[in-house]
Chain A
């Protein structure tokens, strides 16, 4: 996404994200509980309960994009939190202890909700925060799922959703509104459907939209999923993309190759990566990361459906499932190669990546590479090291 290629809709996003942040501050002032949640969490229940959901991971990503993770982290490291912990967690914990708040203060929680579908770092970070801010904490536990649908895990999750709703009712003193939940789930479905249609446009040759664009436009699907604002936002973005297709505006000037990328981007180097790939005529078209928000809820069986969607998210699945899913994306988007990011901040995505890379090369015959870096902390990023992996890869594409 070059500077002259900026989407009009970007302005709309700035506006709705600003309004979202203001709503958070207002909720605090008015005594409406601010609930911390994780990215892959049934936030639909939080919206339905009238709580204000706040995403500390989003705070971590913003700090990373503004290249201040290490400043915040220093305050956490001074307390003994090691540099090898998740960069988002270090940003959040660092902000708690720091006098300086380079991206504004994190919104303090009245309640904390965490789902460990993604990893074990989030619950530990949220525990630390629950102690620091002295606020009640609820963990939705999601054991790892294998290749097949896992009834044991779904039933366990449903039971916990009931426990969580009781927990919320006890906190708010109000009975949970299942009619409202159905409305929120409907809005969530709509936003997810639009988001995935947008992502699909990357399959066009040449494409109007790629992974780095998706990274830019994903904030609403993460934070506002379940609201009318998210639906409207993605409707507008989809219209703009259709307009671009008609006018022949493409994501990069000369698209010669399509690339699959896992998983999360290096936020402080997003532009560097996008320009590097574009300069080689390579458009990154898909990633498991941006495709995570592809939920589809059955309004007739809300809790069951929430459990099925959130427990069976790819990041919680076995090695074999994840290899299969990567390959299915590569086929769907008809890619010419793949790049896998061994992210220091994210053990569940990084461990096993070298074996996966080898297996994918064997099964698809595609060129691929694995590079080491961190999604947030520039001290754990070396341009030279990344280029040493990417340059030979680009050569293989030609």
Chain B
């Protein structure tokens, strides 16, 4: 919708390491994603923004927009109030209403309607982005030597802040080059890992995994596979199609579903991708993640899959400790240092 309105969608994923000013407004026990994102705005590093939409995925996100507006107001600010249950008929009806409300707000700010044709064109472009990114992800999983984990996730994250037309063009070129270089790796000795969590951060984790002989072959991060996992159905009315995709997305801790299907999703993903182990990157103070964490670890153990949980923070230190833990875990899995 943002793209179809002719605006430039820019995904904010934390980023500042200087949290002092943000801490004056948002308690230090708010997650570092919220604080470091706000810090970027306070430092003037997001001054190019005209507007901000915050999706309600947790209490912190539910409170953040109002606070942001108070300390660093932007011309267009909006809450995206996602339904927190996804398995009853009421959820779809409500979400359609919420998307219509947001569309109307965007149209008012823009001063012109968002036409269905434009919306469908944007949907197709985003679908193409995601299809290319999934291809790249598969290529990496099958040929880890071809493109490193760090590079793969850097590309996915770049796609959240670059012009989407450019993303499609560059990805096609990249895939073309990589496919030319394809050679069957007789000795693919990487230890295959599943990573899970709210957000992939810090990216150094990927370096450490590769340093000690591993590679990431699957994940469910919001700035990873969760961002690219599925496409919008282009056969439906565009708004209804957006609802359809949202409600069918892979499980996440933000949605309240009693049996925590995410744990089974993760174990079956691990088995499908032949993972040798799993690392949960737990963003400190991430409540939805914490409430599911014990069950997720237990589900992995029940499948006989070694798993560890590592606490992470945006802008935080502790890289040395993270490296040590990954080293020990990789050694246990038989990884060979490179």
Contacts and interface: CB of A to CB of B under 8 A. Distances in A.
Contacts of A143: 56, 81-84, 94, 98
A136 B258 contact: yes
Contacts of B62: 120, 144, 348
Given A141-B84, A156-B93, A350-B27, A85 B63 contact: no
Contacts of A114: 256
Contacts of B207: none
A218 B89 CA distance: 36
Interface in B125-154: none
A79 interface: yes
Contact of B101 (A116, A152, A372): A152
Q: Name the residue in A124, A128, A131, A137 with the highest tally of chain B Cβ atoms < 10 Å from its Cβ.
A: A124
Contact of A156 (B56, B94, B284): B94
A128 B59 contact: no
Given A319-B70, A351-B30, A144 B81 contact: yes
A131 B259 CA distance: 6
A378 interface: no
B60 A351 contact: yes
A40 interface: no
Interface string A65-80: 0000000000000011
Nearest to A316: B62
B80 to A, nearest CB: 10
B70 A355 contact: yes
Interface stretch (B109-117, B194-202, B293-301): B293-301
B301 to A, nearest CB: 12
Contacts of B284: 82, 84
B25 A119 contact: no
A160 B88 contact: yes
Interface residues of B, number: 51
A141 B98 contact: no
A152 B94 contact: yes
B30 to A, nearest CB: 6
Contacts, number: 139
B25 A354 contact: yes
A124 B288 contact: yes
A163 B287 CA distance: 28
Interface in A154-170: 155-156, 159-160, 163
Contact of A130 (B258, B287, B297): B258
Q: Name the residue in A141, A144, A342 with the highest tally of chain B Cβ atoms < 10 Å from its Cβ.
A: A141
A123 B258 CA distance: 9
Nearest to A162: B90
Contacts of A144: 56, 62, 79, 81
Interface string A318-329: 111000000000
A376 to B, nearest CB: 15
B309 A80 contact: yes
B178 interface: no
A147 B260 CA distance: 34
A81 B294 contact: yes
B25 A355 contact: yes
Contacts of B56: 143-144
Interface string B61-99: 011101101110000000101111100111101100110
Contact of B288 (A120, A319, A352, A372): A120
A116 B84 contact: yes
Contacts of B58: 120
B29 A84 contact: yes
B104 to A, nearest CB: 11
Given A128-B291, A152-B101, A344 B29 contact: yes
B173 interface: no
B285 interface: yes
Contact of A348 (B25, B59, B291): B59
Given A120-B58, A160-B88, A347-B60, A352 B66 contact: yes
B311 to A, nearest CB: 9
Interface residues of A, number: 46
A347 B88 contact: no
A318 B295 contact: no
Contacts of B293: 80-81
A351 B26 contact: yes
A86 B309 CA distance: 21
B257 interface: yes
A44 interface: no
A156 B85 CA distance: 12
Q: Name the residue in A114, A123, A156, A347 with the highest tally of chain B Cβ atoms < 10 Å from its Cβ.
A: A347
Interface in B259-298: 259-260, 284-285, 287-288, 290-295, 297
Given A80-B297, A85-B287, A128-B291, A123 B90 contact: no
Contact of A347 (B25, B59, B89): B59
A362 B126 CA distance: 46
Contact of B85 (A141, A320, A347, A351): A141
B84 A120 contact: yes
Interface string A107-127: 000001010100111011101
Interface string B172-203: 00000000000000000000000000000000
A381 to B, nearest CB: 14
Interface in B227-283: 253, 256-260
Given A120-B59, A351-B60, A159 B287 contact: no
A136 B258 CA distance: 8
B59 A318 contact: no
A351 B88 contact: no
Contacts of B29: 84, 344
Nearest to B253: A124
A139 interface: yes
Contact of B70 (A80, A128, A160, A352): A352
A81 B282 CA distance: 12
A140 to B, nearest CB: 9
Contact of A123 (B64, B84, B297): B84
B332 to A, nearest CB: 19
Nearest to B28: A372
Given A139-B256, A348-B63, A351-B67, A127 B89 contact: no
Closest 5 CB pairs of A and B: A319-B66, A124-B291, A143-B81, A351-B63, A156-B94
23 contacts: A80-B290, A80-B309, A81-B290, A84-B284, A84-B290, A114-B256, A120-B84, A123-B84, A124-B253, A124-B288, A127-B257, A131-B260, A131-B295, A143-B82, A143-B84, A152-B101, A156-B83, A156-B90, A156-B94, A347-B30, A347-B63, A352-B66, A354-B25
